[in-house]
Amino acid sequence: MSPIQKSARQIVMERLNTEIVRATTGDLHRAADFLEGARKIRAGSKRQRNASRQAHRTAYLKKVDNPISW
């Protein structure tokens, strides 16, 4: 019977748990701040990508004349 393969996330979580046991309170505080900042950066990057896509979708409107209605 073959052993169950662990996902990359499971392996990293095991490493993290091992280090948490050995870490000081200051280490944990800095790690938590780092992870929180990384999540905020990813969220900001997502907003920036979405805004860029929207601008790309409507960029052609700058180069065309508006239709004339009578």
- Asked, for residue 3, whether it belongs to a domain, the answer is no
In angstroms, rounded to a whole number, what is the distance separating the alpha carbons of residues 61 and 30? 47
- Asked, for residue 24, whether it belongs to a domain, the answer is yes
Backbone φ and ψ of 35, nearest 5°: -65, -40
- Asked, for residue 52, whether it belongs to a domain, the answer is yes
Residue 2: pLDDT band with limits 50, 70, 90: low
Backbone φ and ψ of 14, nearest 5°: -65, -45
Question: What's the domain range around 55?
Answer: 8-63
Residue 47: the pLDDT is 86
Query: For residue range 9-36, what is the model confidence (pLDDT) as tens digits?
Result: 999 999 999 999 999 999 999 999 999 9
Query: For residue range 48-70, what is the model confidence (pLDDT) as tens digits?
Result: 989 999 998 888 777 777 777 75
- Asked, for residue 50, whether it belongs to a domain, the answer is yes
Give the total number of structural domains in the chain.
1
Buried b (16+ CB within 10 A) or exposed e, 44-68: eeeeeeeeeeeeeeeeeeeeeeeee
- Asked, for residue 68, whether it belongs to a domain, the answer is no
